[in-house]
Amino acid sequence: MLDVTSASEVGLPESPPVTRGKSHRGARRTAKRSRSERLRALGRQTLLAAVTFGVLALIWELLSNADPGFWPEIILSKPSEITPAFFEAITTRFVWENYWVTFQATILGFVLGAAAGFILGLMIALIPVFSEAFYPVVILFQSTPRVALAPVFIAWFGFGMSSKVALAATICFFPVLVNTITGLSHIDENAMLLMRSLKASRWQIFTHLRWFAALPTIFAGLKAALTFALIGVIVGELKATNEGAGFLIERGSFQLRMDDVFAYLGILALFGLLLYGIANAVERRVVFWQAGDAEHD
């Protein structure tokens, strides 16, 4: 056991508390500054994005009015028509039902694909035999564009929910798999020495060190996968189904209702943004120690 004698008792100048006070305030100041800086940057970004968006919409509107013969309205539509179409769409139950289907398929595909990728990634990273057996196959599949599998899945699973979920899951699978392997394979040598010197078991090294060290990388993979899942579902719906956001877009295009198509695309963009926002919020909670850094890149 330690018995404690403080610096002053052994007759030394009590310098640490000075450093302590100073650095403490210093640390908090930097933390605060970076948070307000981050907020200000976010505000600026939002404002600039809104301005850019407005200007582009204005140019689009002016161009479509300039020479009706040259810019066939039926193909291009224009903001002044898309805006009411958008508000009509978001107040229509039928539209919501279709986006709800897309949402369900996205989440289901994401969960299935991410879980499979994560579990196989764990096995490849932790069990050497799996690494040798599977990694080359993974690399091979990774270089195949996954959307090209859409017709295959439609042939296998038919029209409807399962084929698009399968497509989304396949697309999700790889980023999660690869990032799980990468995250768990990168081990800080000095941290490892420390753990070994403490006589930590393999399991303790995993639960105390490797798992946490891998989390930021795994999360980056999950975030990419969530976006990919949406892409997979939409591609599936464009190809074959009679419901979902992709189906609405496909039908609108087919009927040459371009104002509707752009309105649906707008909703889809917001929908994607929402998913990404949720993923970010979850990430900031789980990988909390990286919160500051993640904002910068």
The binding site for another protein (CB under 8 A) comprises 1-7, 10-12, 14-17, 19-20, 23-24, 26-28, 31, 188, 190-191, 193-200, 204, 208-209, 212, 215, 288-290, 292
Q: Which is nearer to another protein, 12 or 155 (CB)?
A: 12
Q: Which is nearer to another protein, 33 or 44 (CB)?
A: 33
Q: Which is nearer to another protein, 4 or 148 (CB)?
A: 4
Cα angle 237, 238, 243; round to 5: 40
Q: Which is nearer to another protein, 26 or 136 (CB)?
A: 26
Judge whether 245 and 257 are in contact, CB under 8 Å.
no
Judge whether 235 and 246 are in contact, CB under 8 Å.
yes
Q: Which is nearer to another protein, 9 or 67 (CB)?
A: 9
Q: Least distance in Å: CB of 180 to another protein?
A: 18
Q: Which is nearer to another protein, 119 or 198 (CB)?
A: 198
Q: Least distance in Å: CB of 184 to another protein?
A: 15
Judge whether 264 and 249 are in contact, CB under 8 Å.
yes
Q: Least distance in Å: CB of 87 to another protein?
A: 46
Q: Least distance in Å: CB of 217 to another protein?
A: 14
- Dihedral Cα 182, 184, 189, 194, nearest 10 deg: 170
Task: Produce one character per residue of 91-120: b if its CB has 16 or more CB atoms within 10 Å, e if not.
Answer: eeeebeebbebbbebbbbbbebbbebbbeb
DSSP secondary structure of 93-108: HHHHHHHHHHHHHHHH
Cα angle 118, 294, 202; round to 5: 40
Q: Least distance in Å: CB of 218 to another protein?
A: 13
Q: Least distance in Å: CB of 210 to another protein?
A: 11
d(CA 122, CA 226): 19
